[in-house]
A and B are shown apart, each in its own frame.
Chain A
Amino acid sequence: MTLISMKGLRKDFTVRVKAGRLRREKRTVSAVDGIDLSIEQGEMVGYIGPNGAGKSTTLKMLTGVLTPSAGEVSVCGLRPVPQRTRLALRIGVVFGQRSQLWWDLPLRDSFSLLRHIYRVPPQEHAARLKRCRSLLDLDDFLDTPVRQLSLGQRMRGELTAALLHGPSVLFLDEPTIGLDVVSKQAVRSFLAELGAGGDLTLVLTTHDLADIERLCRRLVVIDHGRVVHDGTIEALHDRYGSRRRLVVDLDAPLPPGFVVPGAELLSTEADGHRAVFELTSSSAGAVVGALPALRDLSLVEPDIEDVVARLYRTV
C-alpha cells in the first residue's frame, strides 16, 4: 500500500536581493524542484542531500507545515495542508533542531499532556510509554523539566513524544544531530527495533550516513531540489563504481610492473612493502594468492561517505 506519494512537488521561495543602493530585486528560489516519489507502507527511507538541498522543505510539505507551490502530495490518503490536524493524528514528527515538548514542564507531564491532545486511550498510552521507557532509558530524567535535559536526553524524549499516539508514519529530520556516540547508538537501535515490526513507515533525513547504513534499505538522494538517486545503498555503490580495497603488507618490496587480473594497483608505500589494490572483478583470495611473501592484509569496504561526497560533487 502506498502511504506517501509526491508528484511534481515544488516549493519556491521568494528572496529579495540587494540590487543597488535602495533597490532590492525579487528572486525566486526553488527549494524543491519537482519531486516524484512514492513510499510504501513499512518502508524505511533515508532521505539525504547536502545542506540546502531541500530535505527539510520536503518533510515540511509532507507534514502539512508548508504549502507546496505546485504538484500533488498525499500522506496516509490525506492532503497534508488542508487536512493537517487529521493527518497529525496519523504521523509522528521529530525535527532534530526543534522541540515539541513543553519547555517548563517535566517530561512526564509533557507525555500525559500529549495523551490528551491526541486522545489516546489510557491503556494504549501506558503500554507505549512503558516500552519507550525501557528501550530509551527514560526513567532517570522523567521528572526533570525539559529545559534542564541534555540534548541526548531531550532527543529520546522527542522520539517518545512522536510515538505515543501510535503513528503510521514517522518523519525524522536529523534525529541524531549533535548527539554523542552513545546517544546516537541508542537512537539508532531504538529505531531499528521499531522498524523490525514492519508496520511503521519511516522517513529519515540525516547527514550521518551511519544512520542510513544501519536503518534504511532505500536511499533517496536529493540535490538542488531534485532526486538524483533512488535505490539501495548497493545500487549507489554500483552506480559510482565504488570498490572494495585490499591493503597488503609484504616481506619483500612489490616487484615493479606487478599485475594481477581483476585488481588494480592504486599505490605503494614504504618502498613497496605496502600496496593498496582496488578489486575490480576478482575475489580478494585470487589477489592474495598471486602475491609473493605476504605478511599481513586488510580488506576495506567501500565507504558510503566517499560515494555520497562524489555524488554531491558531480550533481
Chain B
Amino acid sequence: MDGLDARVPEISPGRPFREWVTTFGALSWSGFRRFATYRQATIAGSFTNIVFGFLRCYVLLAVAAGATDAKPGGYDAEQLATYVWVGQGLLTVVALWGWTELADRIRSGDVTADLLRPVHPVIGYLAPDLGRAAHAMIFRFLPPLAVGAIFFDLYAPERWFTVPLLAVSILLAVIGSLGLRFLVNATAYWLHDARGPITLWTLSAGILAGLYFPLRFLPDWLAVTFWVATPFPGLLQTPADVLVERDPPLMQAGLVALQAVWAVVLLALAAYVQRRAEKRLVAQGG
C-alpha cells in the first residue's frame, strides 16, 4: 500500500534517549488521561478519603492527648494531624488498594497485547502509573489536605528542602508501589487468579505502610525491622515523616535514599519475574 510501507528505524540514530523520554512521557500522559475520564469516581473517592480522614484524625489526636508526654511516637498533635491527612491523600497516589489491572489482563489473556508492543512490560505499566499518580496528586491528594488544613492545625515544614524532598519521596513511593503491585499481580501468571495474594497485600500493606497508625508507635526494633527488611514503610510512612520533619535532616534524607534502593530492587525483581513468566506463559482464552 502506498505510503504504508516505510520501515521504522529500529533505534533512532542520534537521539535515542530523547525518543525514549518522549515515549515514556506519552505513556504517562495516557495514564493521566485515562483517570481524568472518570470524574464522578474521583469526587466520590475524595469524599470517602476525607470522611475517613476525620475519623482517623480524631482517634490519633485522642491518643496524643492521652499520652504521658503528649508526643506519642515522637509526634506532636500538629504533626499527627498532618500525618493523617497526608496519608489519606497519598493512599490513592500510591494506589495502596485495588489495583488488579495486570492480574485481570493475565487472567483474560489480554496481556498478549502488552507483549506485542515495542516497550518492556514493566515500563509499559510504570509510565502510565506515573501519569495516574500525577492525576491523583492533583485530584486526590490536595483535596483531603486542604480540608485537613481548614479543620485542624497542620504542621508547616521549617526546612527549605523538605518540600522538594517530599516530591522525590512521593515519586519513589509510587515507583516502589508499582513494583510491589506488579509482583503481587504477576502471581496470576502462576496461579491464574491473584485474588489471594492481592487480599494478603491489601491487609498487610495498610499496617506495614503505616496507614492505620504510625510505625513509630511500635517498639524501635520492630519499626526498624519493617523499615529495612520490607519496602512497605516507603509507601506512606516515609513521605509523611519527611513532610512533618519527624527526624533530623540526615535521617530524613537517609529514609528517602532507602526508598530509592527499594524502588530499584523492586523494579529489577518485577523485570525478572516478568521474564520468568514469559517463558511459561499460556495465553488464556484462545
Check: B202 CB closer than 8 A to any chain A CB.
Answer: no
Chain A residue contacts of B285, Cβ below 8 A: 97
Contact among A84, A95, A117, A168 for B7, CB-based, below 8 A? A168
Check: B248 CB closer than 8 A to any chain A CB.
Answer: no
Contact among B12, B25, B109, B119 for A98, CB-based, below 8 A? B109
Are B116 and A119 interface neighbours, CB within 8 A?
no
Contact among B1, B109, B278 for A193, CB-based, below 8 A? B1
Tell me how many residues of B have a C-beta within 8 Å of chain A. Answer: 40
Are A95 and B112 interface neighbours, CB within 8 A?
yes
Check: B37 CB closer than 8 A to any chain A CB.
Answer: yes
Are A116 and B6 interface neighbours, CB within 8 A?
no
Check: A137 CB closer than 8 A to any chain B CB.
Answer: no
Q: Mark A96-124, 1 if CB is under 8 A from B, else 0.
A: 01111010110001001100111110001
Are A93 and B282 interface neighbours, CB within 8 A?
no
Are A131 and B8 interface neighbours, CB within 8 A?
no
Chain A interface: which of B27-35, B155-163, B219-227? B27-35
Are B37 and A113 interface neighbours, CB within 8 A?
no
Contact among A60, A88, A89, A128 for B4, CB-based, below 8 A? A128
Are B116 and A88 interface neighbours, CB within 8 A?
yes
Are A131 and B116 interface neighbours, CB within 8 A?
no
CB nearest neighbor in B for A85: B118
Are A64 and B115 interface neighbours, CB within 8 A?
yes
CB nearest neighbor in B for A105: B33
CB nearest neighbor in A for B108: A98
Contact among A98, A119, A127 for B8, CB-based, below 8 A? A119
Check: B279 CB closer than 8 A to any chain A CB.
Answer: yes
For chain A, which range describes its interface: under 10, 10 to 19, 20 to 34, or 35 or more residues?
Answer: 35 or more
For the complex, give the distance between the alpha carbons of A118 and B26 in Å. 11
Check: B69 CB closer than 8 A to any chain A CB.
Answer: no
Are A165 and B3 interface neighbours, CB within 8 A?
no
Chain B residue contacts of A120, Cβ below 8 A: 8
Contact among B1, B19, B30, B110 for A113, CB-based, below 8 A? B30
Smallest CB–CB gap between B208 and chain A, Å?
Answer: 32
Contact among A86, A100, A197 for B116, CB-based, below 8 A? A100
Smallest CB–CB gap between B263 and chain A, Å?
Answer: 23
Chain B residues engaging chain A, CB cutoff 8 angstroms: 1-10, 12, 19, 22-23, 25-27, 30, 33-34, 37-38, 109-110, 112-113, 115-120, 278-283, 285-286
Besides A104-B34, A104-B37, A117-B118, 7 other A-B contacts (C-beta < 8 A): A60-B283, A67-B279, A67-B281, A95-B113, A116-B23, A128-B3, A145-B37
27 contacts between A and B (CB under 8 A): A13-B282, A63-B116, A65-B112, A65-B116, A65-B281, A65-B283, A66-B282, A66-B283, A88-B118, A89-B118, A90-B7, A98-B109, A98-B113, A100-B117, A102-B34, A104-B34, A105-B37, A113-B30, A116-B25, A117-B118, A117-B119, A145-B37, A166-B8, A196-B1, A197-B2, A197-B5, A200-B1
Chain A residues engaging chain B, CB cutoff 8 angstroms: 13, 56, 60, 63-67, 81, 84-86, 88-90, 93, 95, 97-100, 102, 104-105, 109, 112-113, 116-120, 124, 127-128, 131, 145, 163, 165-166, 168, 193-194, 196-197, 199-200
